[in-house]
Amino acid sequence: MAGRRETVIRAEKLVEEAMKSNDASHDASHVFRVRDLALSLAREEGLSSYPDSMEIVELAALLHDIGDYKYARDPSEEKLIEQFLEEEGIEESRRVKIAGIIKGMGFKEELAGQTNQKYSLEFGVVQDADRLDAIGAIGIARCFTFGGSRNRVLHDPVIKPLLEMSKEEYMNKDKQTTINHFHEKLLKLKDLMKTKAGQRRAEKRHKFMEEFLEEFYLEWDGKA
């Protein structure tokens, strides 16, 4: 079995190759931020004494966006993670945990009620890290980058946000505006954090988004 550091280096290279044509909202830099956040949260939650758990956290965070439905160009991309872990000699029990984290951590899975079951601490820190990168200053930048890449309308007061959505509605909401995405998802993430460490960090990022939106609406209406 490959050493952990060598496996991480190869995982980083896989991420860079698989995501090189994505826009900057879901590129390798996003993944590396999520990895760093996940490891930091894991240490705060006491996982640093468990090397196997830290490996699961790091690999799940690194591999979590490979084959993302928003960018998938080839159905075979879904098998890249499984193939990579097998080639690296990761034992089956850890492969199963990593795959389970990746499969269940998305917001669309939460909408479908698929993450309400008991979750592991490893799952919690990886999901929280991904959601932290979706809010705050970085989250605002990513939101507008993604909206621009899909030619979405910036804001239209006539188009109201879909505050209650099914998984299918969330995956097919192309007619929504970029600003509405804050209300449909981003402002909800603070209360969906699974770990104490994630909750603490989310408070500041959430407040920053609220202040941004308040200023945005004032400027949109010519009042600021």
Q: Name the DSSP class of 66.
A: T
pLDDT at 113: 66
| pLDDT reported for residue 170 | 77
Low-confidence ranges of the chain (pLDDT < 50): 116
Radius of gyration in angstroms for the set of CA atoms belonging to the chain, rounded to a whole number? 18
pLDDT at 114: 60
Question: For position 166, what pLDDT does the model report?
Answer: 78
SS3 category, 161: coil
Q: What is the pLDDT of residue 75?
A: 65
Chain centroid to Cα 63, Å, comes to: 11
* pLDDT computed for residue 202 by the predictor: 98
Measured distance CA(124)–CA(224) in Å, rounded: 40
Tell me, what's the pLDDT at 171?
72
Q: Which pLDDT score is estimated for 2? A: 63
Class of domain 4-220: mainly alpha
Extents of the domains making up the chain: 4-220
At residue 119, the pLDDT reads 82
